[in-house]
């Protein structure tokens, strides 16, 4: 196993941990908020989806970095 494979694995592995945990916490807290205030479900859901998209973008950046390490 060469260093580029190790770098690629570390880049995507470590780069996906944070967004994965963040999305899980975000979904959990959004469900708690909807349970406490069902009338605000639409606004909470919209903000949750927006937050998940931003967190997922970080994981996509990690994927791009991993692909650059692998192929350049």
- Walk me through the domains of the chain, giving residue ranges and CATH numbers: 3-71 (1.20.20.10)
Indicate the Cα dihedral angle 31, 45, 23, 28, nearest 10°: 0
Query: Would you place residue 1 in the very low, low, confident or very high pLDDT band (cuts 50, 70, 90)?
Result: confident
Query: Would you place residue 63 in the very low, low, confident or very high pLDDT band (cuts 50, 70, 90)?
Result: very high
Query: Would you place residue 66 in the very low, low, confident or very high pLDDT band (cuts 50, 70, 90)?
Result: very high
Note if the pTM is more than 0.85: no
């Amino acid at each position: 196993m060469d260093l580029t494979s190790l770098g690629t694995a570390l880049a995507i592995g470590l780069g996906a941990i944070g967004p994965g945990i963040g999305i899980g916490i975000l979904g959990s807290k959004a469900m708690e908020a909807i349970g406490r205030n069902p009338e605000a479900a639409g606004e909470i859901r919209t903000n949750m989806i927006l937050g998940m998209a931003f967190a997922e973008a970080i994981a996509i950046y990690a994927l791009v970095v991993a692909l650059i390490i692998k192929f350049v």
